[in-house]
Chain A
Amino acid sequence: MTKRNSLLAGLVAGVAATILAGSAGAQTVEITYWQYFLKEKEAIVNELIAEFEKQNPGIKVKHETFPYANYGTKVAASVPAGVGPDVINLFYGWIPQYLKGGYLQPLPEKDFPAAEIEKDYFPLVQAAKVDGKYYALPTAVRSLALFYNKDLFAKAGIANPPATIEEYLAYAQKMTEKDGSGNITVAGTAVQPSGQGIHYIREVLFRQWGVTPYSADNKKVTYNTPAGAEAFQWYLDLIQKHKVGFPGFMTDDVTAFRSGKAAMNIDGSFRLAALNAQAGLNYGVAELPSRNGVKSNFASFWANGITASTKGAKLDASVKFLKFLNSEETMKQWLTKVGELPAKKSVALTEENTKNPLYGPFIRGLDYAHATYFIDESGQRQVIMDAVDDAIASKRSAKDAVKNMADAEQALLDEFYGK
């Protein structure tokens, strides 16, 4: 009897131990988070994960980063291999492509109600909304502004940055310096389609000429109009007629502005950190110049989404982590530590932020910013770069250049939407 009893007791103990061990295992859920490598972003996410794990003892977050240059390829290649993450940071312009491949799942409506998102966030995040559902949300966003070199402004006797595009052109002409052979030695403004120039043309100039670049459903190109051609001509004139700068001057716009060889440049908020680190550069930031009182801006963002294969406890953990990444507290830290602008209005539009001499113009710009709905980011980018190159190389009129550009971009849209 005693022998049997002890056997039974041993059995019970064994089963209990197994159950206990099993339940302890089930309590810890590990999820994986992917983003591209940027020193500041990696550091802040590591800090955030430590904080998140303290608040949620049962969840472990594995954080992996990849080089920026081939992040898109890495993510894409991981999908068919089935080795992707649970929560992923994607450029918003890639979302339609990834949705087509069934890579992302919509954010649960009960945790991220669309109505609330649209109340709290800047309207540009709607670029992450497809068929009424949000698939990703950004912690931070970026917009454009005019960077100007204060020393070159002082040298030319100009007190304030340009408020209108007429002033922008006049100041650029005044500050352009040339050598004896007519070569530009200091550009009045950097003109670089491959930088932010393409966005400036598409979302700022077109709109300032009263042209909405795409139809409401984003399936039709609508900028091939006389006003669109006029806007494009204005940009070409900077290069060809007024000769205040040209693409590739000093290799690119960022180098030209950093080295004090361009008096102005239109660039993104993500450039602030690099420019602040540039010794001897005395620069300021202003809102993009308006035209006839019309202001416009381009904004873009990297957003966090949840992959389609994430289910059950991992999905719950991923939702919690996503909420944490999109909390107001995180956004505040993100602004000071990474330098990207908060995606929620309540965090961004504080008096301290809007009056900040560096962030302020970008944050004020968010109110009237548009995020292009990309379906093929690199293709839609090359279309505009080619239009500018082609207009310059073959002396094509702005009217024909815009027509070719619209045809080429329409072909990309048709291909994507399967026409």
Chain B
Amino acid sequence: MRLSLDHMTIRQRQALTAYIFLAIPAVFYSVIRFYPALESFYLSLTKWNIVSPTKQWVGLANYQRLFKDPVFWKVLGNTFEYVAIGLPTTLILSFLVAYYLDKVKFGQGMLRAMYFLPHIASAVAMAWVWRWLYQPPPIGLFNNILTQLGIGGQPFLTSTVQAIPAITAPVVWAGMGFNIVIFLAGLKAIPESYYEAARIDGASNFQILRRITLPLLKPTVLFLAIINTIQLLRIFDQVYNMTQDGLGGPLNSTKPIVLHIYHSAFHKFDMGYASAATVVLFGILMLITLIQMKVLGKKS
């Protein structure tokens, strides 16, 4: 046999070894992630309440229900609101911090560690800390400060308008540490000689930023834009922990699509409907990623 070990070249054997190692995560992902994901496509075409032994085939009925459900459109809108507020804020703030952090020499490591700390803290614990910060008087720190400044208390999490920005704040704050580190790595990868050449030619700091730093950071920005968009589209922990009973209230005003899926599946046991929403979310994530890769990844 050609494939018996004795007849293989060293290169073939090395490849075989590599494939064996690679097979372990591949099998793991297939069984634990890909198979259930495919199963949800099937479930989305059935009506199943999890406790019933039979799954009733309903075709596209769940999708019809989904598109007629005002709550679904509400949560979809909320989800994009998280991205619309969170993505620019986190990218701009992280870039500014990284840009200036790159310029300081003294204490850079210390500062970088400080910015990174919120990222490694538990999202659930941080959500609760922020939830308390937003409380109405007499225990909410923000409101106590506002009251002392004479501005008057704000409803924050209990308002249907202010709640989404209020929840996005800790998400941005916690995500910044990671974004800053990636931006820093991107900045450090730009060869010093480009900057030297620009300075010799008499370019201003702003010109350097616009003509050299930002264009060369494009892969970093693309990467962070995709990662952060996906994270924000999948927002769950913060909303679950910062709203009353984890319901994404008041009045569904903060409920993102993932929380809606969770409630449909594990509180209402409406598995078919929840799976249909999951498939839609999958489609959106896929589409947005492709668009971002096309737009931002264009070779200049």
Interface, chain A (partner B; CB < 8 A): 70, 72-73, 76-77, 79-80, 97-98, 100-103, 179, 181, 183-185, 194, 246-252, 261, 376, 378-379, 382, 385-386, 389-390, 393
Interface, chain B (partner A; CB < 8 A): 49-53, 131-132, 135-139, 147, 152-153, 157-160, 244-245, 247, 249-252, 263, 266-269
Given contacts A97-B49, A183-B136, contact A393 B245 (CB under 8 A): no
Q: Are B152 and A251 in contact (CB under 8 A)?
A: no
Q: Are B138 and A183 in contact (CB under 8 A)?
A: yes
A246 CA to B138 CA, complexed, in Å: 13
Q: Are A389 and B138 in contact (CB under 8 A)?
A: no
A-side contacts of B131, CB under 8 Å:
251
Q: Are A393 and B269 in contact (CB under 8 A)?
A: no
Task: From A80, A376, A389, A390, give the contact of B51 (CB < 8 A).
Answer: A80
Q: Are B51 and A385 in contact (CB under 8 A)?
A: no
A79 CA to B269 CA, complexed, in Å: 12
Q: A80-B50, A181-B137, A389-B251 are in contact. List 9 more A-B contacts (CB 8 A).
A: A72-B267, A73-B266, A77-B50, A80-B51, A179-B138, A181-B152, A250-B135, A252-B244, A261-B138
A261 CA to B263 CA, complexed, in Å: 33
A-side contacts of B269, CB under 8 Å:
76, 97
Task: From B53, B147, B245, B263, give the contact of A102 (CB < 8 A).
Answer: B53
A-side contacts of B137, CB under 8 Å:
179, 181, 183-185
Q: Are A183 and B153 in contact (CB under 8 A)?
A: yes
Closest Cβ–Cβ distance, residue B37 to chain A (whole Å): 18
Closest-by-CB residue of B relative to A259 is B139
A249 CA to B140 CA, complexed, in Å: 10
Closest Cβ–Cβ distance, residue A190 to chain B (whole Å): 13
Q: Are A76 and B51 in contact (CB under 8 A)?
A: yes
A-side contacts of B263, CB under 8 Å:
378
Task: From A72, A97, A250, give the contact of B139 (CB < 8 A).
Answer: A250
Task: From A72, A194, A246, A390, give the contact of B245 (CB < 8 A).
Answer: A194
A378 CA to B267 CA, complexed, in Å: 7
A-B contacts, 17 listed (Cβ < 8 Å): A72-B267, A76-B266, A79-B50, A97-B49, A100-B51, A101-B53, A181-B147, A248-B135, A248-B136, A248-B244, A251-B132, A251-B135, A376-B268, A382-B247, A393-B159, A393-B160, A393-B250
A-side contacts of B136, CB under 8 Å:
183, 246, 248-249
Closest-by-CB residue of B relative to A69 is B246
Task: From B53, B139, B147, B251, give the contact of A390 (CB < 8 A).
Answer: B251
Given contacts A181-B152, A378-B268, A379-B268, contact A102 B52 (CB under 8 A): yes
A-side contacts of B153, CB under 8 Å:
181, 183
Closest Cβ–Cβ distance, residue B39 to chain A (whole Å): 12
Closest-by-CB residue of B relative to A261 is B138
Given contacts A185-B137, A251-B131, contact A386 B249 (CB under 8 A): yes
B-side contacts of A251, CB under 8 Å:
131-132, 135, 139
Closest-by-CB residue of B relative to A98 is B51
Closest-by-CB residue of A relative to B158 is A248
B-side contacts of A247, CB under 8 Å:
158, 244
Q: Are A101 and B139 in contact (CB under 8 A)?
A: no
A-side contacts of B49, CB under 8 Å:
97, 100-101
A103 CA to B53 CA, complexed, in Å: 9
Q: Are A386 and B135 in contact (CB under 8 A)?
A: no
B-side contacts of A97, CB under 8 Å:
49, 51, 269
A249 CA to B247 CA, complexed, in Å: 18
Closest-by-CB residue of B relative to A183 is B137
A-side contacts of B160, CB under 8 Å:
393
Q: Are A389 and B135 in contact (CB under 8 A)?
A: no
